[in-house]
Amino acid sequence: MAAYGLYTHIQSNKVRSAVLLIGLFFLVYVLTYAGALIAGVILYPEQSYDWYMANAIWDTRQAAPFVTVGTIAWIFIAYKFHQSMIDQLTGGELVTRNQQPRLYNALENLCISRGIPMPKLKVMESDALNAFATGMSEKQYSITVTTGLIKRLNDAEIEAVLGHELTHIRNGDVRLMVIAVIIAGVVSFAGEMIFRILFNSGRTGGSYSSGGSGSSGSSWSSGSSSSSSSGSSDKKGGGGAIIVIVIALVLIALAWLLSVVIRMALSRSREMLADAGSVELTKNPDAMITALRKIEGRGELPGATSAIMEMCVDNPREEFADLFATHPSVDRRVAALVQFAGGHDPGKIDDPEPQIEDQTADGTPPEASGPQDASPGTTSDPAGPWGSQGGPSPGGGDSHGAGKGPWGTTPKP
């Protein structure tokens, strides 16, 4: 179904994302089947190809409930502890209004304007220009901003970045991406474990190279030779085992590759919607565009994993052929904002100047917290409630010829 307007695009994207997430979960069962194939070869090295395939299907059906429960348990553990792990990797710290009044007030105003519960606000010490949202429930949602971004972006641009991350939370992107990263982690972990079991058993058992003669688990080569002499090298013994192992390895590699592609597609499809959502919140497409231009190429977070970089406003880690890119290019995002939101592109920004001003403890500029010094060469009298108070000069006379009282000029005595 075609999508028209921001909200129908959001709904359409949610449907596609749900399908992709189901596909990602299905890859766990593909790996289970590949593991069953390899287990059958290790335990019964002299069976036929057809037997291995049928046995793997039966084993996968038996293991499916346990695999499902294990994956859900993995997701639950990540639900409980993923935020603390992310904070440990990035060094993000919770801040209050007193610590970051400029940032806190901008986020609070956005939330109040749309009736959105305010997420936690965190700041990480880094010269990089980036921000990301995390969490899987209303109590866990948080937005983390780097100190570099706070210093280099003006108020309107910071508001646009916060609106971008707030849109990710509103649309459920953050929860979806965390789950996708977790399931992809299960696929990667299971694939690596199967590889280790396969090659460790091959080295120690001697069944896959030139194993001992006279044993039931003879080598693949000897099994293949005997099967070849009987005219059924692909159905019996080592020949069938080799084919099954190759199929299992292909399935593992394919599952890992698809898990990466699906995860990247989920991330990439949501960034432009978050840009549009930020413009909807702030009514300022130019601020979102200039923020992207300032962040462009300056968002690398030292020590952050690829999973964290996928959640950021921009991911400067380039991938080949755009297939594994987690974000559309900044040029594409800016072009969309210019075309559909009426923004203006200033072009690439070489070195954004610091925007933050010195502030007192309560967030006000220094000149607003006390009296200003008089200009050089002039005499300044203390001000009264209606203007400057008149009074004699230190030398006994008035330097201006007449003092001023609250209702006008006071005549000289």
Does 186 reside within a domain? Answer: yes
Range of the domain at 249: 7-89+176-267
The encoded tokens of residue 79 equal 């639900």
Taking the C-alpha atoms of residue 387 and residue 407, their distance in angstroms, rounded to an integer, is: 9
Q: What is the 3-state secondary structure (H, E, C) of the chain?
A: CCCCHHHHHHHHHHHHHHHHHHHHHHHHHHHHHHHHHHHHHHHCCCCCHHHHHHHHHHHHHHHHHHHHHHHHHHHHHHHHHHHHHHHHHHCCEECCCCCCHHHHHHHHHHHHHHCCCCCEEEEECCCCCCEEEECCCCCCCEEEEEHHHHHHCCHHHHHHHHHHHHHHHHCCHHHHHHHHHHHHHHHHHHHHHHHHHHHHHHHHHCCCCCCCCCCCCCCHHHHHHHHHHCCCCCCCHHHHHHHHHHHHHHHHHHHHHHHHHHHHHHHHHHHHHHHHHHHHHHCCHHHHHHHHHHHCCCCCCCCCCHHHHCCECCCCCCCHHHCCCCCCCHHHHHHHHHHHHCCCCCCCCCCCCCCCCCCCCCCCCHHHCCCCCCCCCCCCCCEECCEECCCCCCCCCCCCCCEEECCEEECCC
Reading the chain (413 residues) residue by residue, the pLDDT tens digits are: 444 455 676 676 677 777 777 888 888 999 999 999 999 998 888 889 999 999 999 999 999 999 999 888 888 887 788 878 888 888 889 999 999 999 999 999 999 998 989 999 999 999 999 999 998 888 889 999 999 999 999 999 999 999 999 999 988 888 888 888 888 878 888 888 887 877 776 655 544 443 333 333 434 344 444 444 444 444 555 568 889 999 999 999 898 888 888 777 776 768 888 999 999 999 999 999 999 999 999 999 988 888 888 889 998 876 555 556 778 889 999 999 999 999 999 999 987 888 765 443 344 444 444 444 444 444 444 444 444 444 444 444 444 444 444 444 444 44
Does 248 reside within a domain? Answer: yes
| Total residue length of the chain | 413
Does 385 reside within a domain? Answer: no
Q: What is the pLDDT of residues 144-178, one digit of tens each?
A: 999 999 999 999 999 999 999 999 998 888 888 88
- Domains in the chain, number: 1
Does 272 reside within a domain? Answer: no
**Residues contacting residue 33 through CB under 8 Å, at least 6 positions apart:** 56, 57, 60, 251
Does 231 reside within a domain? Answer: yes
Does 136 reside within a domain? Answer: no
Q: What is the mean pLDDT of the chain?
A: 77
Q: What is the pLDDT of residues 305-361, one digit of tens each?
A: 888 888 899 988 765 555 567 788 899 999 999 999 999 999 999 878 887 654 433
Taking the C-alpha atoms of residue 402 and residue 79, their distance in angstroms, rounded to an integer, is: 76
Q: What is the pLDDT of residues 34-62, one digit of tens each?
A: 999 999 998 888 889 999 999 999 999 99
Does 162 reside within a domain? Answer: no
